[in-house]
Amino acid sequence: LLFKYYASFSSFNHFTQCCATSHSSCSKRYPSIAEDLVVDAGRAWWAELAEYGISNADNILTREVFNEGVGHFTQMAWGPTTKIGCGIATNCGKKGRNVIIVVCQYLEAGNYIDEPIYELGKPCMNDIECTTFKNSTCSAADGLCIKPEH
């Protein structure tokens, strides 16, 4: 994923000003951006896979899979997502509690029902194996395909 300043600023601006604990209206303004919001973010979001699992061996996001509680994980792992921006708000707690709020916005948005979460397969070894995005290249050391920046 490529970290993008504009998404980061949008996240930061909304959540640091109001210590929000609910999703912003950003997805209404920018329909191709999805966001995750949770206290103690990344670790908790990624842990959804270990905690709840995905019951669909085909790696398709069905309504049943989504309702299992893995929606934050699936957005983080969503194959077509190539950009992320995150913001952090501190000192949001009440009654002496220090709460940190983290929000990330993703482009392209994910979590589309009946779509693959990501392309299943072995790590890439060469560019010809990278088929999700046109002209992608393979980082053989990482086994990941890299979308060209346009």
* pTM of the model as a whole: 0.71
- CA-nearest of 24, 26, 20, 5 to 100 is 20
Beta carbons within 10 angstroms of residue 136's beta carbon: 18
97-131 pLDDT tens trace: 777 778 888 989 999 999 999 988 899 999 999 98
Domains by residue range for the chain, with CATH: 2-118 (3.40.33.10), 122-150 (no CATH)
